[in-house]
């Protein structure tokens, strides 16, 4: 009998709590609005067209050294992978039964590489690389995929111009549909 009384009381309390639905914009006395500085600290994404890229630059040679120091342990000496994903190779495999999806064979935008490295790498210390270091590592990874020359220097103007081989295989809000004006 006691169990039935407890269940009845719990059910009544549940019904009372859902009888007054929350309303948008209602203040519950917890939290606070984010400051402009807090929002800016999280507003670090980079769009395919390069919007959001910071000032700075990096070369393939600089990137090779940074990659050796901070990336090779996970991605191999030349981006071949192991223990983590391969970053280089896979050219010409996307349309095959066993595609090798790497930065050079699969990714649609070079700016996505910058964005990902900046936000998430290295794995043990995300967001620890400076913009110059991220440009340099991006240049090195693109070089490993034969997409930029050995003397390439990337920055906010040159990185979005790197033509990725698989760009046209994606549908994006950033590119118009075939036959549509931009």
pLDDT value for 25: 72
Residues 6+ apart with CB under 8 A from 38: none
Residue with tokens 């209602």: 26
Who has greater pLDDT, 122 or 180? 122
pLDDT value for 7: 73
Render pLDDT for 71-114 as a digit per residue (tens, 0 to 9): 999 999 999 999 999 999 988 888 899 999 999 999 999 999 99
Nearest to 53 by CA among 141, 132, 123: 132
**For the chain, which domains are there?**
47-169 (1.10.760.10)
pTM of the full structure? 0.74
Residue 116, pLDDT > 90, answer yes
- Buried/exposed 63-82: b ≥16 CB within 10 Å, e otherwise: bbebbeebbeebbbebbebe
- 64 vs 78: CA distance, rounded Å: 9
**Mean pLDDT on 167-174:** 73
Residue 62, pLDDT > 80, answer yes
């Amino acid at each position: 009998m006691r169990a039935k009384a407890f269940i009845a009381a719990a059910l009544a309390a549940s019904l009372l709590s859902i009888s007054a639905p929350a309303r948008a914009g209602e203040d519950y006395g917890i939290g606070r609005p984010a400051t402009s500085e807090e929002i800016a600290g999280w507003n670090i994404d980079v769009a395919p067209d390069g919007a959001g890229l910071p000032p700075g630059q990096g070369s393939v040679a600089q990137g090779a050294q940074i990659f050796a120091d901070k990336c090779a342990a996970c991605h191999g000496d030349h981006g071949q992978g192991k223990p983590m994903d391969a970053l280089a190779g896979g050219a010409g495999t996307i349309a095959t039964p066993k595609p090798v999806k790497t930065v050079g064979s699969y990714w649609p935008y070079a700016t996505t590489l910058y964005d990902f490295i900046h936000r998430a790498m290295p794995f043990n210390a995300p967001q620890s690389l400076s913009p110059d270091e991220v440009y340099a590592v991006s240049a090195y990874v693109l070089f490993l995929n034969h997409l930029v020359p050995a003397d390439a220097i990337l920055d906010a103007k040159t990185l979005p111009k790197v033509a990725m081989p698989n760009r046209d295989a994606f549908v994006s809000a950033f590119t118009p549909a075939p036959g549509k004006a931009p």
